[in-house]
């Protein structure tokens, strides 16, 4: 069983829009994997949680290199708040595509203001960043919040699986089709082909950038507060990701915005003997036996105690016997109406016979482990007393717990009195289809 994000039912929208396949103008080419055109339909993909990313990779003909990236455009919305603005992160990765996940990080634009719209594309200007690529590249949208607004995927029935990717809160890239997303991300790149160096790096295989915010290794330098007094902090990966707890271990966090004075934690345990490298790597020690067997979040916390960044379920303590504790990738469906019963499927890993499931601290009924990566259970209509967002816990037979914070939502009463819901009865987070008209491209603005 393949892992699946916790996507609810996608909101379909009929989109009237000009098709933007790679068609050259006098100087620019628009690169796109999606087939969204006049009269086409698209769905805003619900279910992303904070820290996750959707990425489109682009693999143009060899004779078009080098290519200077000047902008990215994407369809963004699905929250029912047309014209509302949120702040997201836009990342550019070198290499990737054709079945390979995004490679080296070339650019990290944080605090980008995106407008929710079902009838127009957002656009981010990349022309001042001087990114020149000599091989395939990827554009990713990262969400600092859970739920919509979100990116869209087309609905033309044709999926370019090797060029559509999702970075999950499990800390890894997956092909979006492997996570049951049937469509290409409506994320596009505008670029100048055969552009020479364009003032950017672009040497060797991965391209580069001479943006003042990126060091000479291509790693974004976001370790200092911006003019607004805020620091952009993220945790991208953890090495090692598993530990048996038997001996002391050095753990390295890779990300951005790391500073001395911050607290770096594995679950409740602070890393000690900390060493920082360039604002993007923090390495510290855990002592033997510091954490019991389980799956833990990795956090960066300010001296005042506020959370700055989190990598969800990115570190596993196996115990000396070496058995892996359970992990949770998604719950499907991840919402139902209060009073409406539903069958749920939990996707993750290391599920064994005897594993149990709790939602909101209460045990689910009829838990069946269908594979090491999947279990199913029944949630009765009276499982909780109040509508709200609840944690999901998978408990292994040895007591090891995997926690998915805020993983399941009970909305207002559905009043079925506890009867079994038919497939698809769990309400989508948003309403039905929208019929829209073509609009102008909305320009995204960085927070100043």
Same domain as 127, residue 89: yes
Assess if residue 422 is contained within a domain: no
Same domain as 274, residue 194: no
Query: Is the CB of residue 279 less than 8 Å from the CB of residue 245?
Result: no
The per-residue DSSP string of 146-188 comes to: SSSSEEEEE-SS---GGGEEEE-TTSSEEEGGGGT--S-B-EE
Full-model pTM: 0.47
Assess if residue 127 is contained within a domain: yes
The predicted model gives 330-344 an average pLDDT of 89
Assess if residue 264 is contained within a domain: yes
Assess if residue 282 is contained within a domain: yes
Same domain as 170, residue 135: yes
- pLDDT confidence of residue 345: 92
Assess if residue 338 is contained within a domain: yes
According to DSSP, residue 100 is labeled B
* CA distance readout (Å), 310 to 42, 98, 359, 403: 31, 30, 22, 14
Provide the 10 A C-beta neighbour count for residue 408.
24
Assess if residue 423 is contained within a domain: no
Same domain as 382, residue 248: no
Same domain as 153, residue 36: yes
Same domain as 174, residue 45: yes
- pLDDT confidence of residue 259: 93
Same domain as 29, residue 166: yes
pLDDT digits (tens, 9 = 90+) for 34-86: 888 766 778 888 778 889 999 999 999 888 889 999 999 999 998 888 888 99
Query: Is the CB of residue 257 less than 8 Å from the CB of residue 309?
Result: yes
End-to-end CA distance of the chain: 45
Same domain as 166, residue 71: yes
Same domain as 252, residue 207: no
User: Tokens 């892996």 sit at which residue?
Assistant: 324
pLDDT digits (tens, 9 = 90+) for 284-327: 999 998 887 878 888 899 888 788 888 877 888 876 665 677 88
CATH label of the domain that carries residue 406? 2.60.40.10
Same domain as 302, residue 176: no
Does pLDDT of 438 surpass 70? no
- Is the pLDDT higher at 196 or at 11? 196
Cα 442 from Cα 255, distance rounded (Å): 30
User: Tokens 């290499």 sit at which residue?
Assistant: 95
Query: Would you place residue 165 in the very low, low, confident or very high pLDDT band (cuts 50, 70, 90)?
Result: very high
Query: Is the CB of residue 164 less than 8 Å from the CB of residue 184?
Result: yes
Assess if residue 429 is contained within a domain: no
* CA distance readout (Å), 391 to 146, 231, 305, 342, 359: 14, 29, 22, 17, 6
Domain count, the chain: 3
The whole domain housing 250 covers 234-317
Assess if residue 427 is contained within a domain: no
List CB contacts of 216: < 8 A, sequence separation 6 or more: none
Same domain as 406, residue 263: no
């Amino acid at each position: 069983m393949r892992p699946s994000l916790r996507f609810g039912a996608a909101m379909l929208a009929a989109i009237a829009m000009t098709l933007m396949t790679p068609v050259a103008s006098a100087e620019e080419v628009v690169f796109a994997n999606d087939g969204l055109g006049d009269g086409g339909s698209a769905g805003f993909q619900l279910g992303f949680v904070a820290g996750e990313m959707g990425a489109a990779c682009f693999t143009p003909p060899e004779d078009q290199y080098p290519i200077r990236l000047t902008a990215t455009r994407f369809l963004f919305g699905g929250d029912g708040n047309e014209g509302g603005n949120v702040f997201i992160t836009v990342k550019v990765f070198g290499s990737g595509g054709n079945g390979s996940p995004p490679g080296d990080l070339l650019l990290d634009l944080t605090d980008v203001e995106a407008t929710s719209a079902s009838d127009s594309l957002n656009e981010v200007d990349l022309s001042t960043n001087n990114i020149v690529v000599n091989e395939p590249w990827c554009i990713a949208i990262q969400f600092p919040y859970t739920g919509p607004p979100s990116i869209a995927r087309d609905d033309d029935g044709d999926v370019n699986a090797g060029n559509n990717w999702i970075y999950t809160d499990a800390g890894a890239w997956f092909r979006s089709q492997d996570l049951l997303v049937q469509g290409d991300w409506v994320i596009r790149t505008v670029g100048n082909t055969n552009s020479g160096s364009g003032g950017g790096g672009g040497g060797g295989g991965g391209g580069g950038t001479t943006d003042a915010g990126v060091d000479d290794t291509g790693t974004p330098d976001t370790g200092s507060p911006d003019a607004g007094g805020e620091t952009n902090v993220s945790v991208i990966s953890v090495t090692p990701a598993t530990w048996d707890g038997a001996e002391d271990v050095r753990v390295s966090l890779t990300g951005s915005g790391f500073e001395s004075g911050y607290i770096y934690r594995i679950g409740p345990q602070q890393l000690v003997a900390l060493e920082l490298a360039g604002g993007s790597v923090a390495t510290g020690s855990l002592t033997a036996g510091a954490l019991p067997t389980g799956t833990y979040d990795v956090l960066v916390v300010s001296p005042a105690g506020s959370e700055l960044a989190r990598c969800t379920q990115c570190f596993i303590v196996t115990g000396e016997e070496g058995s892996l504790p359970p992990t949770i990738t998604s719950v499907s469906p991840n919402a139902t109406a209060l009073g409406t019963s539903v069958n749920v499927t939990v996707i993750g890993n290391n599920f064994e016979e005897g594993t149990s499931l709790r939602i909101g601290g209460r045990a689910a009924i009829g838990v069946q482990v269908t594979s090491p990566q999947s279990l199913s259970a029944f949630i009765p209509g009276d499982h909780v007393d109040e509508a709200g967002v609840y944690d999901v816990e998978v408990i292994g037979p040895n007591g090891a717990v995997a926690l998915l914070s805020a993983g399941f939502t009970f909305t207002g009463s559905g009043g079925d009195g506890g009867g079994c819901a038919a497939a698809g009865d769990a309400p989508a987070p948003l309403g039905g289809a929208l019929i829209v008209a073509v609009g102008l491209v909305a320009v995204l603005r960085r927070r100043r």
